[in-house]
A and B are shown apart, each in its own frame.
Chain A
């Protein structure tokens, strides 16, 4: 479903965000992507969504090489994905129903289809009775569920959640991940970017750890806690070249909790 082959990304300003990342995510998987801020998680997501293109290497999504993708094909690639933002990005002036319907209108769905599909998806996230509420009338957890409903409504094969619990109460965070788990159980591939170790540990799923632009661990060990440096880091711009970048062993550094 998602293949990274020796992908590196250097931004025009010289920041090395990702370095030689190779990984494979299968259809139907649930994957946590963890790392300190600036480790390269956002770049990883941007590459998947084709918001950025890799400096070298190849990304294959659904068997399609993204380097071969034409500009006008990008929107259709994105229709395979649903994105959940950390800041929800709900439209204040629209009610819950319209916020979710908006994603369907944006891809030109028919009104009749929208009227059927939106209540169904809102029911899935447990917000059917709040359909007419404005986002400001909802709690953070509820807003994130609206955002999730919007990501789901076009029936994507992949759900990408960028720090979905970042603006949500800790007790609600669990609920959000639980919901993502349920969605995953129905066959949707789920990618969750987070830095909340507790949450990651709770759910015993595959965890990909990115640190300083490299995948330093990729494991599904139940009791594993992956260590990564916690300092905020903006890539490799402190280093003259790649050789000076701290190296990690090929096998993940997996420390016992």
Chain B
């Protein structure tokens, strides 16, 4: 298109000359994008955990704390007798304690070393995971068995939380998206009002609608692009912070930021530019239909 460079420059200029409104648009759009991104990253992390949990065929069976280790060995024999149980390996509370200490830091555990609160346990492997529920029920019937660390339960809980977060996020993001478009539309309308002279002159000399529209679309898309850039930086910082905060509390393997940041950035840019485009498009279309046709008398 002829004169595109000129029109693009005009669009860029008005982002600056309208900076208060531009900043407002960017802020709303950034919160929209960051929230969407955070929800997406949360759910892919949860999905990864769920997958790894679902894959592992190990169930921890905890023994009541008043049971001695010798008695526990007999309980282990009973567990092995339950049909569908392939093996039951003893996992003592001392071992468990040592493992936690390694993973979570010594300071906390040194203080309580002499009164280990952890129970003894068996790591049970099953032949057929589809019989999981029945097998668990049978193991729980054995005297001295306290509870089962049902990792599927954990997986299910995580998935539930993830779904809930997703639902809330979809709602909030949809609302923010509408607000973003609305605010961008208003920003562009402010630009158009301050440029109504120019528009009327452009139309009077026979500029086509697409030509008149161009600087405003560029303005909207630039706002979208800036928002995408800010959001990418923001989510990277947020992700790192949350990741280090959580890993300091519980062992959790996050998907490394470098694996996902490129996709996040690309998605943000696409979303930002599209939202910016639509925001401007809506208001310029309304304007060109109404006041924009008036040349002599507005």
Contact = CB atoms under 8 A, between A and B. Distances in A.
Contacts of B297: 42, 46
Interface residues of A, number: 29
A83 B295 contact: yes
A75 B213 CA distance: 14
A49 interface: yes
A49 to B, nearest CB: 6
Interface in A156-206: 162
B2 A162 contact: no
B197 A79 contact: no
B202 A106 contact: yes
A176 B129 CA distance: 95
A132 interface: no
Contacts of A116: none
A236 interface: no
A78 B201 contact: no
Contacts of A228: none
Interface string A77-92: 1110111010001010
B207 interface: yes
A75 B205 CA distance: 8
A108 B294 contact: no
Chain B residues touching A, range? 20 to 34
Contacts, number: 73
A168 B3 CA distance: 34
B296 A108 contact: no
Contacts of A137: none
A257 interface: no
Contacts of B205: 78-79, 82-83, 103, 106-107, 150, 154
B209 A75 contact: yes
Nearest to A90: B197
Interface of B: 1-3, 6, 197-198, 200-209, 211-212, 293-297
17 contacts: A46-B296, A51-B293, A75-B206, A75-B208, A77-B206, A78-B203, A78-B204, A78-B205, A79-B205, A91-B201, A102-B198, A105-B3, A107-B207, A108-B2, A109-B3, A150-B201, A162-B296
